[in-house]
Structure 1
Amino acid sequence: MTIIEKPADWPRSEAEALAVQNALRDRVVLGEVGPPPGTGLVTGVDVAYDDDRDLVAAAAVVLDAATLTVVEEATAIGRVAFPYIPGLLAFREIPAVLAALGRLESGPGLVVCDGYGQAHPRRFGLASHLGVLTDLPVIGVAKNPFTFRYEQPGQERGAASSLLAEDEEVGRALRTQPGVKPVFVSVGHRVGLGQACAQVLHLAPRFRLPETTRHADALCRRALKEAVAG
Structure 2
Amino acid sequence: MRTDLPPGWPTTIAEARALQERLCDEVVTTGGPEAPGLIAGVDVHVAERTGLTWAAVALVDGSGLELVESALAAVPTGFPYVPGYLSFREIPAVLAALSLLDRAPDLVMVDGQGIAHPRRLGIAAHLGVLLDVPTIGVAKSRLIGQHDEPACTKGSRVPLTHKGEIIGAVVRTRDGVSPLYVSVGHRIGLERAVELVLATTTRWRLPEPTRLADKLSRMHPV
TM-score between both structures, scaled by the size of structure 1? 0.91
- Partner secondary structure for residue 154 of structure 1: coil
Whether contact under 8 Å (1:113, 1:127) holds in the other structure is yes
| Preserved contact between residue 36 and residue 199 of structure 1 (Cα < 8 Å) | no
What residue ranges of structure 1 are gaps of 5+ in the alignment?
1-5
Cα offset for 1:8? 6.8
Distance 2:45 2:144 in 1: 23
Q: Distance in 2 between matches of 1:47 and 1:11?
A: 19
Which residue pairs with 1:23 in the alignment? 22
**3-state SS, counterpart of residue 53 of structure 1:** coil
C-alpha separation in 1, matches of 2:188 and 2:40: 14
Instruction: Sort the Cα spacing of 1:120 and 1:134 in 2 relative to 1 into closer, same or farther, 3 A.
Output: same
Partner residue, 2:150 = 153
Aligned to 2:139: 142
Unaligned runs of 5+ residues in structure 2 are: none
1:49 is matched with: 46
For 1:15, the aligned partner's letter is A
Report what 1:178 is aligned to. Answer: 175
Question: How many residues get paired?
Answer: 218
Please report how far the alpha carbon of residue 218 of structure 1 lies from its aligned counterpart in structure 2 after TM superposition: 1.0
CA shift at 1:7, angstroms?
A: 7.2
Runs (4+) of structure 1 exceeding 4 A deviation are none
Distance in 1 separating the partners of 2:89 and 2:169: 25
CA distance in 1 between counterparts of 2:171 and 2:137 reads: 12
Matches within 5 A, 1:32-111: 33-36=31-34, 39-111=36-108
| RMSD (CA atoms) | 1.4
The sequence identity of aligned pairs, in percent, is: 48
Match of 1:3 in 2: none
Q: Is the 8 A contact 2:29 2:190 kept in 1?
A: no
Q: Deviations over 1:141-174 (max 9, x none)?
A: 0011212110011111101000010321000000
Cα deviation for residue 81 of structure 1 reads 2.2
Q: Secondary structure at the match of 2:173?
A: coil
Q: Is the 2:157–2:172 Cα contact (8 Å) retained in structure 1? A: yes
What is the TM-score when the length of structure 2 is the normalising length? Answer: 0.94
Which letter does structure 1 place at the counterpart of 2:78? A
* AA matched with 2:218: R
For residues 170 and 29 of structure 1, the distance between their equivalents in structure 2, rounded to whole angstroms, comes to: 13
Would you tell me which structure has more helix in proportion to its own residues?
A: 1
Determine the structure 1 residue equivalent to 2:215. Answer: 218
